[in-house]
């Protein structure tokens, strides 16, 4: 909670700070749903995480969606969340990959439920990034893909976030 609060008064935090919060979030959710999924976070050691500024809570909503809407409702024996942070020339690619039920099935299940809850995480995240780009505060792109197996069946979701390096900090 302290990490969230410390970052809440800043428009941007370092990628290192964002990942520290994300690791704690994943750890808590794994404890909460220990029998439902496992996860792994891989960070390329060649990346100087302090050199990249990101909006606070950039990755967490996507990880939350993967867990809540993809992995938890999945009946597979091995539900897995993979988070990869890797270098791409001078930029960083953040991948959030789950082997859950996929977005189509998740929407289908949501339509069958009798709740009035409207998930706004993706919409808010997308609008926030558009505003940041429009104000030229940073350039971060986001791509969400549905995964499928060799039979064309849903095999989860992949989110790719490309963070362009803003400045050369020392």
pLDDT (mean) for 151-169: 83
3-17 confidence digits (pLDDT tens): 555 555 667 899 999
Mean pLDDT (the chain, rounded) = 84
**Percentage of the chain lying above the pLDDT 70 cut:** 83
The whole-model pTM stands at 0.84
pLDDT(168) > 60: no
- Which domains can be identified in the chain, with CATH numbers? 2-163 (3.30.565.10)
- The CA–CA distances, whole Å, from 150 to 74, 75, 77 equal 19, 19, 19
pLDDT(121) > 70: no
25-69 confidence digits (pLDDT tens): 999 999 999 879 999 999 999 999 999 989 888 999 999 999 999
pLDDT(80) > 90: yes
pLDDT (mean) for 100-115: 73
The CB density around residue 106, as the number of other CB atoms within 10 Å, is 20
pLDDT (mean) for 75-82: 90
Q: What is the pLDDT of residue 170?
A: 41
């Amino acid at each position: 909670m302290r990490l969230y609060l410390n970052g809440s008064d800043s428009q941007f935090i370092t990628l290192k700070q964002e990942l520290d919060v994300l690791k704690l979030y994943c750890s808590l959710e794994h404890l909460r749903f220990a029998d439902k999924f496992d996860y792994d976070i891989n960070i390329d050691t060649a990346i100087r995480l302090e050199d990249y500024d990101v909006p606070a809570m950039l990755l967490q909503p996507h990880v939350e969606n993967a867990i809540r809407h993809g992995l938890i409702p999945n009946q597979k024996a091995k539900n897995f969340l993979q988070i990869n942070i890797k270098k791409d020339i001078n930029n960083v690619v953040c991948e959030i990959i789950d082997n859950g039920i996929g977005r189509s099935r998740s929407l289908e299940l949501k339509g069958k439920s009798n709740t009035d809850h409207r998930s706004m995480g993706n919409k808010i995240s997308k609008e926030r990034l558009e505003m940041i780009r429009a104000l030229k505060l940073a350039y971060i792109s986001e791509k969400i893909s549905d995964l499928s197996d060799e039979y064309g069946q849903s095999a989860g979701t992949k989110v790719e976030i490309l963070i362009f390096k803003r400045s050369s900090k020392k």
